[in-house]
Amino acid sequence: MTDRLNTDVLVVGGGTGGVAAALQAARRGANTILVSEFTWLGGMLTSAGVSAPDGNELLAFQTGLWGAFLQELKRRQPEGLDWGWVSFFTFNPRVGAEIFADWVSQQPNLHWISGYKPQEVLKQDDKIIGVRFSEFTVYAEITVDATELGDLLALAEVPYRWGWELQTEWEEPSAPIIANSLTKSCPVQAPTWVAILRDFGENAVSPEIPAPTIDNPEQFVGAWEGYGAEQFLNYGRLPGGLMMINWPCRGNDYGEGLNRLIQSPAQQQEFFQESRWHTQSFVRFIQKQLGRRYGLASGLFPSPQPTTHIQPQDPLDTSFALHLYYRESRRLQGLTIIREQDILPMPGGNVAPLPINDTTGECDAIAIGNYPNDHHYTQDIFPVKLKYLRWGGRWTGTPFTIPYRALIPVKTEGLLVCEKNISVSHIANGATRLQPVVLGIGQAAGMAAALCIAYRCQPRDLSVHRLQQELLHDPVAPAAIIPLFNLLPNRPDWVDKQCYYLEYPEAYPTHGYCDLEFSSQQIYSHLSLQTLKSQSSNPVDLNPKSYEQLSTPEVEESRSCFKGVFHRTQEQNYTLTLTFPQQLAAKTWTLVTLDAEIDRQLKQCINGSQVSVKGRINHSGYWFIVEVIEQS
């Protein structure tokens, strides 16, 4: 391999944010090199084993690379995505890794190198100019830190945060007033080493899971108390009898000596080994308690060591994720900080406030999230201010946005971040850390990096307006920036309405619904697609890609039809007692939806009325996902 490589954009880290950044930078025309530590791309979604993504589940938020990924998953996993109850989308992580690898291979100006970690960051004054790896050095105009733990921040001595901020810092309502035992023992959220089990069948006897060097089964007693064994196993159920083991209640979260993650390599490896043993102990406990029909899903992940037909793969390697599922990392000190107040609903509303640049007055948003604020600690349960609402017959999180300035260091040039290492408080990180929002952050970072190359500017000097327009008009995966419950991406005025609220953020409705009858096209005609095309240096066609229609013959064929008696037990809590099909008569299912129009119709259904619905059943969650509804 050549000792010195030169490129426009260097992305270090092939996780969720990194693969999105590299894809978007290359698709926008920048010569891009992606260097990953592992042989699978996708991070949280694939190589860390958490193939049950949380957040951005509503149809209106399934846009950008996140939406494109879901559509491709549906195509490649014909048995569907409705398997577990922790997420609306569960899939074989190998399928996800293949999608990302195929997408990367299709970009002629994207070069992917796997198996390397950064060793040194090269700087010229306050500008990062390259990164040295063990066998080569990459020089780049723009470098993107997409590592799982914000490694480039430490190597480049870019100021970052690690640990808690007290309430005196930003007056976050859930922040502790003073340091306590939890803030000292758990400086960041606990990570998890995910393992995948397989159900081998009722009378099967799978190989016994061996005990690890450190085995403490007593710590798992009561892990599924209050749930039951079946519901526990269905939590992260995947197709093909697979079960993702990422269980927070007396399960395999691991938080002993978390500071070791950013100390010496030897201490980091020590933490890795202990967390793997911890998960091995937990899956052995599951097998001991629930029987040998459940065993390791050998061969699911690639072996860390080359294998031959003579030396079979070790099931402890190939059923365990390639690396830890990190919930928190070093966090950049950026041009702005995402605080808890920035992700909470506005007073009396359903959505968080839009981020506004204090200097320019512009809306600074570049990505959408909506996950509730979820914190994992192994010692205590930490309560945070609630940020969720009932919608579509279920609970979902308050929508919020990520500001562009949270990706940019205060002083350092030539650098963007796009993983859990963005500029965010410890408290707010509980909502910004999830897979779909990180895909959006990565897509925005990759687009910004390519635009910096095109316009020969630094990230801090890039027009956020230009970045937003390019994201909205991307020819492959146009991404929503303003969260609106009822603005679906297949509407012809989708871009117009997104642009309107970017131009007039003061008009953003606190309830999160836009007026679908209101035409905003002439109000900001200067933002027209034709203007953007004439100003763009991108040679590709900027016509927005049409999303898959909500109703096609193929989709209709895959939907199941049910009839029954509709019940509303309370606001946004709906059930259907079936009368058809006959074999399921008298069974009752919870009705949920991801579609704003169906949500509206459910609100109007009369209690006790006969209704017909089409959609998909989720047997693990005991819910019916409604896509079409007709009231008799």
Angle at 209 between CA 205 and CA 211, to 5 degrees: 145
Is residue 63 within 8 A of residue 489, CB to CB? The reply is yes
- CATH, range 561-630: 2.40.50.140
Task: List the one residue out of 444, 188, 439, 428 whose CA is nearest residue 326.
Answer: 188
Six token digits for residue 177: 């007033």
The torsion of the CA quartet 353, 359, 365, 369, rounded to 10 degrees, works out to -50
Residue 333 CA, chain-centre distance (Å), reads 22
Residue type at 246 in one-letter notation: N
Q: What is the pLDDT of residue 559?
A: 67
Strands (E), 571-622: 573-580, 588-592, 610-618
Is residue 437 within 8 A of residue 55, CB to CB? The reply is yes
Gyration radius of the chain's alpha carbons: 24
User: The pTM is what?
Assistant: 0.93
Task: List the one residue out of 519, 523, 394, 536 whose CA is nearest residue 463.
Answer: 536
Q: Which DSSP symbol is given to 598?
A: H
Six token digits for residue 239: 């197709």
Query: What is the secondary structure of 109-171 as a DSSP string?
Result: TEEEEES----EEEEETTEEEEEE-SS-EEEEEEEEE--TT-HHHHHTT--EE-S---HHHH-
303-354 tens-digit pLDDT: 865 433 334 456 788 999 999 999 999 999 999 999 999 999 999 999 999 9
Strands (E), 219-351: 237-238, 242-245, 294-296, 331-332
Which CATH entry fits the domain spanning 3-161+327-531: 3.40.50.10800, 3.50.50.60, 3.40.1210.10, 3.40.50.720?
A: 3.50.50.60
The owner of tokens 């100390």 is 263
Which is it for strands 331-332 and 242-245: parallel, antiparallel or unpaired? Answer: unpaired
Half-sphere exposure of 307 (CA within 13 A, CB side): 13
131-169: b (≥16 Cβ within 10 Å) or e: bbbeebbbbbbbbbbbbbbbbbbbbbebebbbebbeeee
Is residue 66 within 8 A of residue 483, CB to CB? The reply is no
The owner of tokens 């980091």 is 268
The owner of tokens 């205590």 is 380
The owner of tokens 């007055």 is 361
Neighbours of 187 (CB within 10 A): 17
- Decide: helix, strand or coil at residue 3: coil
The torsion of the CA quartet 428, 429, 433, 439, rounded to 10 degrees, works out to 70
Six token digits for residue 260: 């070791």
Six token digits for residue 93: 């992580």
Is residue 56 within 8 A of residue 369, CB to CB? The reply is yes
Residue type at 204 in one-letter notation: A
Query: What gap in Å lies between CA 625 and CA 63, rounded to an integer?
Result: 20
Instruction: Name the stretches of the chain with pLDDT < 70.
Output: 1-2, 304-314, 520-559
Q: What is the pLDDT of residue 520?
A: 65
H or E element, residue 501: helix 494-503
Query: What gap in Å lies between CA 412 and CA 169, rounded to an integer?
Result: 23
Six token digits for residue 59: 């149809």
Query: What gap in Å lies between CA 189 and CA 428, rounded to an integer?
Result: 12
Q: Where in the chain is the domain with CATH 2.40.50.140?
A: 561-630
Q: Where in the chain is the domain with CATH 3.50.50.60?
A: 3-161+327-531
Strand partners, 575: 567, 590
Strands (E), 217-280: 237-238, 242-245
Task: List the one residue out of 123, 97, 164 whose CA is nearest residue 302.
Answer: 97
Strands (E), 219-326: 237-238, 242-245, 294-296
Q: What is the pLDDT of residue 305?
A: 53
Query: What is the secondary structure of 48-106 as a DSSP string?
Result: T---S--S--SGGG--HHHHHHHHHHHHH-TT-S---SS-S----HHHHHHHHHHHHHT
